[in-house]
Amino acid sequence: MIFPAIDLRAGQSVRLYQGDFEQATLINADPVAQAKQINAAGLNQLHLVDLDGAKAGQPENYATIAAIRAAFNGTLELGGDRIVIGIDGKQGYVAINGWLDQSQTKMSTLMQAMQADGAKHFIVTDVARDGTLQGPNIELYQELQAQLPAINLIASGGVRNLEDVQMLQASGFKDVIIGKALAAGNVTLAELAEVAPC
């Protein structure tokens, strides 16, 4: 599935550059309207991120999320309606506290531990690529998928255009999250609807 992303900060849709809260770009002051536009384009999946909540360690944009849920017809991920684990990292190590700190835990080690406890779906974001339009880190995704062949890896971070989406799909990653490329106009909702699996 193709998941357009809406990152929430103070009730608005924004994009961060490499997870830096000081480098936030306003995408839409009305994320509910943005979600409706995604629906209208024929896409019925949406990925939400509560940036303030990630930083604070507790939900911070609940009212906006509830309004989007009420307005959006389809699958809404906020870490998932299904259980989806978000693993964010840089250079193969887990990033924590809203990406502000980097741990000494390998992404693969954390994923293996969670898989042992029954987790099956993982959103993997390369913090160094997120919001940069530098292209997805397919090498990282392939390495993690090879180590954990039974998981569903959802690729996130760095997607530049439709060609990147198609390249990820051709590499076996059917679930892709797209944020900055949409905001920058490098790919349209209509184009995504054409390549989204039914």
Q: Number of folded domains in the chain?
A: 1
Residue 19 has what pLDDT? 82
Task: Please identify which of the residues 7, 50, 126, 130 carries the catalytic annotation.
Answer: 7
Is 81 among the catalytic positions? no
How far is it, in rounded angstroms, from Cα 194 to Cα 74? 17
pLDDT digits 0-9 by tens, 11-31: 999 999 888 889 999 999 999
Q: Taking the complete model, does pTM exceed 0.85, yes or no?
A: no
Residue 79 has what pLDDT? 60
CB 34 within 8 A of CB 28: yes
Q: Which of 78-82, 97-101, 157-161 has the lowest mean pLDDT?
A: 78-82
* Residue ranges of E strands in the chain: 2-9, 12-17, 20-28, 45-50, 75-77, 84-90, 93-96, 101-106, 121-126, 152-156, 176-178
How far is it, in rounded angstroms, from Cα 101 to Cα 89? 10
Task: Please identify which of the residues 50, 88, 130, 175 carries the catalytic annotation.
Answer: 88
Domain with 30 in it: what CATH number? 3.20.20.70
pLDDT digits 0-9 by tens, 106-155: 999 999 999 999 999 999 999 999 889 999 999 999 999 999 999 999 99
Is 20 among the catalytic positions? no
Residue 56 has what pLDDT? 85
- Domain of 36 in residue numbering reads as 2-195
Residue 80 has what pLDDT? 52
Average pLDDT over residues 61-80: 90
CB 141 within 8 A of CB 155: yes
- Percent of the chain surpassing pLDDT 70: 97
